[in-house]
């Protein structure tokens, strides 16, 4: 079940099939994207795909492997690539590895999140180091907002 779901998940993203992707999620499910932030609900997940992912990239490749599933929690490694459509980085290819986390309820995705080093993508795109710093600070702030327990670590 998990491997089939991740194959469909990546296929729908690469093919810009927002409706099919969104239907893998609970009605109030959430896609936590490391670049664009959190998208809650099927409509917003579909919009994320067309208005963010495929606005900024093309020729997507996404392969998930080494699946691990226990109860309602699944983890999987991945290889991901795309060609940038962003004017300042148009035509540049990005290839990155990462790890995805799927939380399920009633065989649908309740939450999707990922752990990936976005700095690798920025270096391949040629992003200015000062801009990278601003983005990293935004991601850091989001991390602390998403997990308030991080600020409790001493």
pLDDT band at 153 (very low <50, low <70, confident <90, very high): confident
- Sheet (strand 57-70) strand order: 37-40, 25-33, 108-116, 93-105, 73-84, 57-70
pTM for the model: 0.88
**What is the tens place of the pLDDT at every residue in 89-132?**
999 999 999 999 999 999 999 999 999 888 899 999 999 989 88
> Encoding tokens for residue 47?
């919009």
Residue (of 135, 102, 141) closest to 118 by Cα position: 135
Whether the pLDDT of residue 151 is over 90: the answer is no
What does each C-alpha distance from 69 to 3, 15, 25, 75 come to in angstroms? 10, 26, 17, 6
CATH number listed for the domain at residues 2-147: 3.10.450.50
């Amino acid at each position: 079940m998990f491997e089939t779901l991740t194959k469909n998940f990546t296929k729908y993203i690469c093919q810009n099939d927002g409706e099919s992707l969104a239907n893998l999620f609970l009605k109030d499910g959430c896609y936590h994207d490391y670049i664009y932030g959190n998208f809650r609900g099927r409509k917003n997940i579909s919009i994320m795909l067309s208005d963010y992912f495929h606005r900024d990239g093309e020729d997507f490749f996404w392969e998930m492997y080494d699946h691990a599933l226990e109860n309602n929690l699944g983890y999987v490694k991945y290889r991901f690539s795309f060609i940038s459509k962003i004017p300042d980085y148009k035509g540049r290819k990005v290839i990155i590895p990462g790890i995805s986390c799927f939380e399920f309820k009633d065989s649908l995705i309740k939450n999707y999140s990922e752990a990936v080093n976005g700095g690798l993508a920025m270096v391949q795109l040629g992003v200015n180091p000062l801009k990278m710093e601003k983005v990293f600070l935004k991601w850091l702030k989001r991390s602390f907002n998403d997990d308030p327990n991080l600020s409790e670590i001493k």
